[in-house]
Amino acid sequence: MSEAPSKPSNTDLDSETGRLYQELGTRAVINCAGAYTVMGGSYLSPGVRAAMETANHRFADMQGLLHAGGRAVAQMLDAEGAYITSGAAAALTLAVAACLTKDHRDYLERLPDTAGIPNEVIVQKSSRQKYDRCLIIPGAKLVEAGDADAMTPGQLRDAIGPNTVAVHYLAPTGAPTDAKGRPPIESVIEVAHERGVPVIVDAAGLTYPVDNLRRYARLGADLVCYAGKYFDAPQSTGLVVGRRDLIDMVSINGYVGFETSGYHTLGRPMKVDRQEIFGCVVALREWLAMDHEVRFALYGERIDVILREVKGLPGVEAYRISERETPTPMVRDGVRLRLDSPQRAEAAVMALREAEPCIWGRVDDLLRDCINLSVAFLQDGDAELIARRLREVLSAQG
């Protein structure tokens, strides 16, 4: 079992990294927010970077490389098939496209026009989210099941009709606030499969515990979507894992399928480079082999640095959050600061962001008087710098 990859020491943002950003008229940022798309996603390990650099030396038969990469991923995750996508959003879009066209190949070139074929995807009313937008890109019509609080197996059964092509399931992270009345995945699969309808699982951030990467396909979900950034792959990669026949349709609907299948398919813009495919495979291999307790121990050291500095500040409650106990895939492990008002929390985040060096934390999406500070992607010395700056900002507010 490998250890968690170490991070290089480089806290000086006026160094070569800082100058590189400055040349384009922007700033390098200390990421204290987590694995967010708007911050660049993830930190690439030396092994991932080396694989991408080596892959850059030669070109590839991209169709063959995608198939080979998919086989490698499927083998690691004990699945029938897998396909590497340009992120989890693309994975969801291509998964729906596969379900729309699996029995209607004459529509491969017509998507998102789905007039004349079954085109409904069932979604749970109480767990709607902005990423549902990805489901309608290929032309699906969303049909809500359940009520504002929950969805029962009976309500799901009633929602499935002759035009249903898939049931979408947003996998809960495990946090109490994320349950939202979601039924167990086992009962969703049972009801959908009774009607011969495939289940698409959005498990984008559920990469720890690592069994989450295998669990849903093992239980019978037909297509499961993950984001590469959550297992430290390039953020422009993702995975669809599941049934081999549907993975084949994902591939045809994808960007290489546009060039090689004889069909001008929807996924042509969703390109993944050869370097990214190798990076994704190596990152997944490292993540599955990693000693995650070593990773958590490193996080703990950084968290302690921050907690010591802010302890006792007036109007500030500070405590550790952990993906093992309070699952927040974007944040991983970090510090949560509860302040005495949402306005103070927002002001503190902006003060950290606008100063030099630029430090990005985030106000919690639900607890608006709380700031989440991830330590997952800090470099050596960053925790001390953040702690000092945080104390200055919070003391000035008090």
Mean pLDDT taken over the chain: 94
Distances (CA, A) of 199 to 222, 267, 390: 5, 21, 45
pLDDT band of residue 398 (cuts 50, 70, 90) is low
Are residue 300 and residue 330 in the same domain, yes or no? Answer: yes
The label of the residue with tokens 């989890």 reads 88
Is residue 179 predicted with pLDDT exceeding 90? Answer: no
The residue range of the domain holding 309 is 2-44+291-397
Q: Is residue 282 one of the residues assigned to a domain?
A: no
My answer on whether 115 and 195 are in the same domain is yes
Q: pLDDT > 90: what percent of the chain?
A: 89
Clarify whether residues 131 and 229 are in a common domain: yes
- Whether 260 and 301 map to the same domain: the answer is no
Looking at residue 8, what is its pLDDT?
A: 40
pTM listed for this prediction: 0.94
Tell me the CATH number at 40.
3.90.1150.180
Q: Are residues 302 and 372 in the same domain?
A: yes
* Ordered DSSP codes for 311-342: TT-TTEEEEEE-TTTS--TTT-SEEEEEES-H
350 located within any domain: yes
In a domain, 223, yes or no: yes
* Average pLDDT of the segment spanning 317-327: 87
For the cut 80, the answer to whether the pLDDT of residue 175 exceeds it is: no
Residue 66 lies in a domain: no
Give residue for tokens 């200055």. 392
Sign of the alpha-carbon torsion through 213, 218, 219, 223: positive
Average pLDDT of span 103-122: 98
Segment 355-362 shows an average pLDDT of 94
CATH number of domain containing 219? 3.40.640.10
Within this chain, do residues 108 and 10 fall inside the same structural domain, yes or no?
A: no
Say which residue, 6 or 79, is predicted with more confidence.
79
In a domain, 17, yes or no: yes
Work out the average pLDDT over 20-27.
92
Shared domain for 254 and 301, answered yes or no, is no
Question: What mean pLDDT comes out for the span 352-359?
Answer: 94
Relative to beta strand 334-339, strand 358-360 is unpaired
Q: Which of 203, 197, 210, 196 is nearest to 169 (CA)?
A: 203
pLDDT of 9 strictly over 60: no
281 assigned to some structural domain: no
Three-class secondary structure of residue 122 per DSSP: strand
Cis before 138 (ω within 30): no
pLDDT band with cut points at 50, 70 and 90 for residue 11: very low
The three-point CA angle 87-213-6 to 5° equals 75
Which pLDDT band holds residue 330 (cuts at 50, 70, 90)?
Answer: confident
Q: Assign 371 to helix, strand or coil.
A: strand
| pLDDT band per the 50, 70, 90 thresholds, residue 225 | very high
Q: Which tokens belong to 51? A: 């694989």
pLDDT at 7: 46
Indicate whether 58 belongs to any domain.
Answer: no
What integer is the mean pLDDT of 320-328?
83
Pull the structure tokens for residue 47: 């092994």
Are residues 137 and 244 located together in one domain of the fold? yes
Q: For the chain, what is the domain count?
A: 2
What's the CA gap between 318 and 310, in Å, rounded? 7
Confidence (pLDDT) at 10:
40
Which of 243, 272, 301 marks a domain boundary? 272
> Does residue 62 fall inside a structural domain?
no
Residue 289 has pLDDT above 70, yes or no: yes
Residue 325 and residue 249 share a domain:
no
| One domain for residues 296 and 268 | no
pLDDT tens digits, residue range 197-217? 999 999 999 999 999 999 999
Residues 124 and 245 reside in one and the same domain: yes
- 220 and 299 in a single domain? The answer is no
């109007």: which residue's tokens?
Answer: 315
